[in-house]
Amino acid sequence: MKNLLILTLFVLATNIMIGQQESVKLAFHISVHKELKASFKSAGRLLIYIAETDKIEPRKSSIYNGNGVVFGTNINNWDKNETKHLNGNQDWTTNANWNFNSVPHGDYYVQLVWSQNGASESKVNSPGNLYSESFKINTKVKQEIRLSLSKIIPERKLITHDLVKLFSFQSDTLSKWWNQPMNIKASVLLPSGYAKNPSKNYPIRYNVAGYGGRYTRVNRLLNNKEFMSWWTSEEAPQIITIFLDGEGPFGDSYQLDSENSGPHGEMLINELIPNIEKQFRAIGSSETRFVDGCSTGGWVSLALQLFYPKTFNGCWSYSADPVSFNKMQLVNLYKDANAFYNNRMYLRPSMRNLNGDPQFSIQEEIYFENVAGVSNTYTTSGGQWSAWNALYSPKGEDDLPMPIFDPINGEIDKQVAEYWKKYDLLLYTKANWTELGPKLNGKIHIWMGDMDNFYLNNAMRDFDSYLKSTTNPKSDAQIDFSPMKEHCEDYSHKYVLGEIEKRMQEIKNK
């Protein structure tokens, strides 16, 4: 859809001659185009992305690609006939070390996003939100720039294919908890022989996405000619794959019960799984049900196997998020005083490359998330730390997740950290091993790169050490560490499906 919204952006530079100052003031006049007035929502968050390159759209800037800065502010009761005048005097949250009253001279690419989805979508770049074309400005030249924000982020769609189906239902469990209708979606990839064998029942695999992954990620496999050539051949295993949706009110739901996001685990186990397996002719037994994923999906698949050991007959967990919070990346949440700085007052990196070169710090990551959050903090950003915090933390007096650390100075809240122990997979496994261990026989398969970009191998090493030390029973978990391998580098849908097929063969041979 085009030309739905026209926002007029005036960038007013100072009249001082070029070269006489090092910065300028910017002011913005923003109006709503008449064609949008029927559908425009009056409350939302305005985000202004400013980048120094146009290699990617500024609105797609993130801490991960190191591109640009962003400013954000909430606007309520915006009259659709009103022109907004915004400048450096407004209450902006930003990750920049400058503001609109003092913009360093240079060439920039500016793009605006009007995030009007509220609680229905946690991400800024989600369907229904509006954005502009990227526009280049030069702050050394007096400019009046008009930006037409005439684009809308389209709805998600599954590629039409005989082997792909949409599963959608309204969850009674989540709807009751949220006191509003909560709809859940998943995509289904059927085995090649499904239509030809209408009376056959199949084993089933639940795939959990990396952070924020949606049910439409099956489209990537459909566009992969090599995978689809294999999947539709006689060589491919006859297994149903369910691609779970990662959306939650504060970011990824992590498919588990949470004081903040609601009973997503209960929904998955008691609603989604029974309904989807009945509709698509799964065998429907715990022996023939499996779970896997990478990154967020690696943590969730392992957590589901641990918390619901009789529901699944095996997990394949790759590059799992921190399985112990005494090594939450490089932070010991139980002992350290600050998440941003170590005890030598060095900024802790959050990401590194293969050679160990830091890419950005936790502080930079949090400051970027603070801008996206409607609370002006990472706790409502829909980003990675927002989702972790929503899952692991208690609810605060403001009905929002209590922050594990201060969004500005990084000081760790020890009371909140104590609450996080409930989701610490290492602590949970240790505390419940006598009862849990026998239920996990043959079910734990873990892969981790020893140069994981997010330092996730540190916590997994502790998990591995504990499982190797177990007795009564002795753990048979398979945990492989690959030297000089990065995050999710060896993850493969084809490999996991092949391993599940082997597991099924073992069951048949019993």
Nearest partner of 289 among 219, 220, 201, 210, judged by Cα: 201
Confidence of residue 431 (pLDDT cuts 50, 70, 90): very high
211-237 pLDDT tens trace: 989 999 999 999 999 999 999 999 999
CA–CA dist 428, 307 (Å, integer): 9
Where do the domains of the chain lie, and which CATH numbers do they carry?
Answer: 23-152 (no CATH), 164-324+424-508 (3.40.50.1820), 326-422 (no CATH)
pLDDT at residue 12 above 90? Answer: no
pLDDT at residue 453 above 80? Answer: yes
183 phi and psi angles, rounded to 5 deg: -100, 135
| Of 11-20, 115-124, 404-413, minimum mean pLDDT range | 11-20
β pairing state of 247-248 and 251-252? antiparallel
Token duo for residue 261: 């996001």
β pairing state of 135-138 and 107-115? antiparallel
| Of 38-47, 371-380, 442-451, 485-494, minimum mean pLDDT range | 38-47
Nearest partner of 315 among 477, 129, 93, judged by Cα: 477
pLDDT in the model for residue 20: 43
pLDDT in the model for residue 19: 40
100-111 pLDDT tens trace: 889 999 999 989
pLDDT in the model for residue 135: 86
Q: Angle between the 296-307 and 425-436 helix axes, to the nearest 10 degrees?
A: 30
Higher per-residue pLDDT: 324 or 508? 324
pLDDT in the model for residue 145: 67
| Of 70-79, 126-135, 180-189, minimum mean pLDDT range | 126-135
pLDDT in the model for residue 317: 98
309-339 pLDDT tens trace: 999 999 999 999 999 999 999 999 999 999 9
Residues in the chain: 510
**How many other CB atoms are there within 10 angstroms of residue 322's CB atom?**
24
What mean pLDDT value characterizes the chain?
A: 91
Average pLDDT estimate for 383-390 = 97
Average pLDDT estimate for 351-374 = 96
Higher per-residue pLDDT: 191 or 3? 191
pLDDT in the model for residue 17: 33
In this structure, what is the dihedral angle of CA atoms 279, 283, 288, 291, given to the nearest 10 degrees? 0
Q: For residues 352-369, b (16+ Cβ closer than 10 Å) or e, as one string?
A: beeeeeebbbbbbbbbbb
71-81 pLDDT tens trace: 999 999 988 88
pLDDT at residue 3 above 70? Answer: no
pLDDT at residue 10 above 70? Answer: no
Average pLDDT estimate for 169-187 = 96
pLDDT in the model for residue 119: 67
pLDDT at residue 21 above 60? Answer: no
243-263 pLDDT tens trace: 999 999 999 999 999 999 999
62 phi and psi angles, rounded to 5 deg: -150, 170
- Is the separation of the CB atoms in 27 and 86 below 8 Å? yes
CA–CA dist 390, 446 (Å, integer): 25
CA–CA dist 416, 403 (Å, integer): 7
- % of the chain exceeding 90 in pLDDT: 76
